[in-house]
Amino acid sequence: MSRAEFQPGQGRLVLAGTPIGDAQDASPALVRALGEADVIAAEDTRLLHTLLLRLGITTEASVISFFEGNEASRVPGLIADMADGKVVLVATDAGMPSVSDPGYRLVTAAIEAGIPVTAVPGPSAVLTALAISGLPVDRFCFEGFLPRKPGERRRRLATLAAEQRTMVFFEAPHRLADFLADASAAFGADRPGAICRELTKPYEEVIRGPLSELVTWARESARGEITLVIQGAPEIATSWDDALGQVDILMAGGTKLSAAVAEVAQVTGLRRRELYSRALAARTIESEMGTK
C-alpha cells in the first residue's frame, strides 16, 4: 500500500529515521511525521524529547519507551492502537528503526495483522561510513554488531574471511581494539579498513589504513560512536593453507573440527572431504611433533 492510499483515520506503523548526529539533518518529512503521530514509541524518551526541542516540534502524541528490554511486551498494545486507527511512530536513538535497533518485531506483527507499514527515510551511519571510507562501494554487506564473546566473534569473522563485498560493522569503542585484532588475524593484517567515529557530529573523524595500524590507533584513541568499514577479500581462490588457518581460528574459539571444516568449506568453496583430510593430517603431524 502506498502512502497515497492511506485513508484518514487508518492506523499504520511509521518507522522514522532520525539524525545520527546533527539534529539539523532531520528532514521536513520527519518533522511532519513526529507532529502528526498519535503514539511515539521511542528507544530513549529523553533523547526523543531533546530532538523535539531542537527541532521546535510540539506533539500531543502519547510517548512510550520502546527498547530491546521491553520491545516484545510492547508489541501487542501497539498493534491494538493501530487496529483502533492510531498512527504509531517508532523512533530509535539514531538512524532507522529495526536496523540493529528495536522495531523488527513490531514490523512483522503489523504485517501479520494487515496493518500498513511505511517509513520516513533519514541519515544512515551504514551508508555514510561506506561513502566516506574510500573503500569499494559497488557491493557491500552490513554485519552490525558481532558477538561480544571473543570465541564467538572469532568464529563469525572466520566465516567472513572470503567475503568479497565491503563489510560494515558497528562496535563499541571499548571493544574496538579487540575486534580489530581478531579481524586482522582472520582477514590479514594488510586488509584495508576505515574507522568512522562520531559521524555528522562536531568531532567526526575517519581513520583509514590496514587493520594492523587501526588496531594500534584503537588501543589509544577509540571513543564515541563507531562504524567500521573493512574491504572485502580479493577475488582469488583460497589456498589450502589459508583454509586450514581459518579452520584453526574456528577451533581456537571452541568449534569442533568437523563443524569448522564444514563452515570453511562453505565459505571458500573448497571440497569439504579433502579439507577435512588435510586438517586431520595437519593435527596428526602437530600431535606427533609435540610428543617428541
Q: Give residue 99's Cα distance to chain centre.
A: 7
What is the distance between the alpha carbons of residues 142 and 170, in angstroms, rounded to a whole number?
9
pLDDT for the residue 145: 94
Q: CA–CA separation, 252 vs 107, rounded Å? A: 38
pLDDT on residue 289? 64
List the domain boundaries for the chain: 10-123, 126-230, 240-290
The yes or no reply on domain 126-230 and CATH 3.30.950.10 is yes
The pLDDT assigned to 178 comes to 96
The phi, psi pair for 45, rounded to 5°, reads -65, -30
Return the C-alpha cell found at 78.
501497539
> For 230, what's the count of Cα atoms within 13 Å in the CB-facing half-sphere?
35
Q: What is the spatial distance between Cα 255 and Cα 258, in angstroms, rounded to a whole number?
A: 8
- SS3 (DSSP) at 209: strand
Polymer length in residues for the chain = 292
| Residue-level pLDDT at 131 | 96
pLDDT one digit per residue (tens) for the chain, 292 residues: 445 456 667 899 999 999 998 999 999 999 999 999 999 999 999 999 999 999 999 889 999 999 999 999 999 999 999 999 999 999 999 999 998 889 999 999 999 999 999 999 988 999 999 999 999 999 999 999 999 999 999 999 999 998 999 999 999 999 999 999 999 999 999 999 999 999 999 999 999 999 999 999 999 888 999 999 999 998 766 788 888 999 999 999 899 999 999 988 888 878 888 899 999 888 877 666 665 5
C-alpha cell at 150: 571473543
Which pLDDT score, from 0 to 100, does residue 1 have?
A: 44
Q: Are 268 and 162 in contact (CB under 8 A)?
A: yes
Prediction pTM value: 0.74
Residue 2 has what pLDDT? Answer: 46
Among 42, 20, 12, 18, residue whose Cα is nearest residue 107: 12
Q: CA geometry: angle at 128 spanning 154 and 107, to 5°? A: 75
Options 3.40.720.10, 3.40.1010.10, 3.40.50.720, 3.30.470.20; CATH of 10-123: 3.40.1010.10
Q: For residues 133 and 95, what is the distance between their CA atoms, to the nearest angstrom?
A: 18
Question: 22 burial class (0-12, 13-18, 19+ CB within 10 angstroms)?
Answer: middle
Note the pLDDT of residue 7.
66
What pLDDT, on a 0 to 100 scale, did the predictor assign at position 292? 52
pLDDT of residue 10: 82
Instruction: Check residue 132 and give its pLDDT.
Output: 96
> Given this model, what pLDDT does residue 288 score?
62
Q: What pLDDT is stored for residue 109 in this prediction?
A: 96
The alpha carbon torsion through 252, 254, 257, 261 (nearest 10 deg) reads -80
- The residues, ordered by sequence, that sit 6+ positions from 60 with a Cβ below 8 Å of its Cβ are none
